[in-house]
Amino acid sequence: MCKFKKFIAAMTAVVIFLCGIITPETASSLTIKEEEELSVEFLEAVFEAYDVIEDPVINDYINKIGQKIVSVMPPQPLNYTFYAVRQDVYNAFAGPAGNIFIFSGLFCALENENELAALISHEIAHVACRHISEMMKKSKKTNFATMAGVIAGILIGIGGAASVGSALTIGSMAAGQSMALAYSRENEMQADQIGRTYLQKAGYNLNGLLSLLKKLQAVDWFDGEIPTYLKTHPATEERIMNLDNLLENRDAPAIEKNDAFEKAHTRMLALYGDPDTALRLFKDRVKNNPDNVMAQYGYGLTLNREGNPKAAVNHLKIALKNNPADADIAIDLGIAYFLTGEYPEALKTFEKKSNSSLNADIGRTYKGRSQMALNLYNEASETFKAIIAANPDNTDTYFFLGESEGKLNRLGSAHYNLGQYYIKTKHLQNAKFHLNKALENETIPEQIEKIKKQLKDLEKPRPFFDNIQEKETDRK
């Protein structure tokens, strides 16, 4: 047995060496440059079809765990980025160029950071070993744009959004390929080996991987429907047996409570999970343990989401009272105040200096909206301009800046910013209307030329997404 363990350890070391250092590119995989080029189209396809969660608390946390694992790996030719997707399925996947997606349904089912780290390390291992790149190379047809559509269609079809997947897939090119992007048994075993090594080096408990696999398997047994994740990550039973044997006779260290995981998990359940389930869950938790900060926080978030901000304020105030240093709770309390129409209280909350990641965009946006509600349009305009200067991709802020500038009778700026909002939300006819209005009211030569260029760019065809109907964008 001892010799066998040494042999396995030696082989694992060889595999890690080959995967992580010697062969970042192989003849059977895309080159790094090809993969990065493809990832641009791929990400556009995924963001078009999926509801990718833009929650700074959740996103910062997932990326922190991901980067912690990447930090113990050999130097990588790709930059890893981690996303959460709002869909109630047990799924996760690695896209080209190290873009890794975790679905809300699977995240909500996790119980601790070790399980999350196990999931992330396994997906990272697939990327590092070039598995996704090899599969894309085998499936590659005409060009990168076409291939991006095929891959997105396959992934979306597996994820359950079949109609969207069909719209993204060009012709019938994805027919018969739904499992072309499913990992082989050998891929899974290799990713398990490499992922386990990364996991341990990053200081995580291997029992998190075991409990994750058993959780996925239990869903299959319970309702007879194979979880989405198992369709693309096969051989689960064999993987569990191997891990059970590996961990046999080892003392399982205690899984410590992690406040960052608890908060991200609470927000995922309350804001992006099934609302009825979340209401029942947090109501019971508050009843059983009224002093529990995350129970009160989750209940407040869920009530706010369900259109009952007045009740939400009460629970968020209790959560903040029990943890006054938590800036995220303070920001969410301010949002609840805003939604009840208590604008002075909301503004008072937002004006306090905060190190909350929520404050960078969301908190300051609601601060600007509170200023608008109090007819402080100059202040609101400055608030929105500061947000855009720090983050030009903050879409909704352009809309509110356009509104506040309009109230100040700055019509050139008002229409220009509304134009930017509609460009970003792909309402191109509305964008053209407002940019033309901006042109009528603008006097600065440089800005006039900028607007003219944007109008000219809007006339160019969008080959990859011409067949996708423009979507309505929800806004609070």
- Give the integer Cα–Cα distance in Å for 56 and 337: 20
Mark whether 200 and 274 lie in a shared domain. no
Shared-domain flag, residues 285 and 400: yes
State the pLDDT at residue 194: 86
Range(s) of the domain holding residue 316: 261-458
Residue 384 placed within a domain: yes
User: Same domain, yes or no, for 220 and 108?
Assistant: yes
381 CB-side CA count, 13 A: 16
pLDDT in tens, 201-220: 998 988 877 787 777 776 65
pLDDT for 24 equals: 45
pLDDT higher than 90, residue 185? no
24's CB contacts (< 8 A; 6+ apart) are 32, 76, 77, 130
The 10s digit of each residue's pLDDT in 339-368 is 999 999 999 999 876 778 888 889 999 999
**What percent of the chain stands above pLDDT 90?**
51
The residue count for the chain: 476
Q: Are residues 88 and 228 in the same domain?
A: yes
In three-state secondary structure terms, 84 is strand
Same domain, yes or no: 210 and 330: no
From CA 406, how far away is CA 401, in angstroms rounded?
A: 8
Which of 115-124, 126-135, 137-146, 253-262 is the most confident on average? 115-124
Of 201, 220, 247, the position where a domain reaches its end is 247
Is there a single domain that holds both residue 278 and residue 190?
no
Is position 58 within any domain?
Answer: yes
Count, in order, helices (H) and strands (E) of the chain. Answer: 25, 3
426: left (phi over 0), alpha (psi -120 to 50) or beta: left
Q: Is 305 found in the same domain as 231?
A: no
Count of domains for the chain: 2
476 domain residue, yes or no: no
16 and 164 part of one domain: yes
- Return the higher-pLDDT residue of 191 and 230: 191
Same domain, 418 and 329: yes
Is 233 domain-assigned?
yes
Task: Name the residue among 379, 372, 381, 449 with its Cα closest to residue 413.
Answer: 381
Amino acid identity, position 140: K
* pLDDT, tens only, 4-54: 344 334 333 333 333 433 334 444 567 788 878 878 877 887 888 789 999
- Domain finish residue from 247, 277, 297: 247
What distance in Å separates the CA atoms of residue 88 and residue 165, rounded to the nearest whole number?
Answer: 17
Asked whether residue 231 is assigned to any structural domain, the reply reads yes
27 or 322, which is more confident: 322
Flag whether 472 is in a domain.
no
Q: Which of 222, 247, 272 is the last residue before a domain boundary?
A: 247
Q: What is d(CA 339, CA 320) in angstroms, rounded to the nearest whole number?
A: 18
- The radius of gyration of the chain's CA atoms, rounded to the nearest angstrom, is 25
Q: Is residue 155 predicted with pLDDT exceeding 50?
A: yes
Q: Answer whether residue 363 is part of any domain.
A: yes
Judge contact between 296 and 322, C-beta under 8 A: yes
Whether 399 is covered by a domain: the verdict is yes
Q: Answer yes or no: is pLDDT of 469 > 50.
A: no
pLDDT of res. 240: 63
Q: What is the pLDDT of residue 353?
A: 66
Query: pLDDT tier at 404 (50, 70, 90 boundaries)?
Result: very high
**Contact assessment for residue 48 and residue 161, using Cβ atoms and an 8 Å cutoff:** no
pLDDT at residue 436, rounded to an integer: 96
What's 401's domain CATH number? 1.25.40.10
Mean pLDDT over 259-284 rounds to 96
Say if residue 362 is in the same domain as residue 240.
no
Domain co-membership, 149 together with 6:
yes
382 and 349 assigned to the same domain: yes
How many other C-beta atoms can be found within 10 angstroms of the C-beta atom of residue 175?
10
Per the CB < 8 A criterion, the answer to whether 300 and 332 are in contact is yes
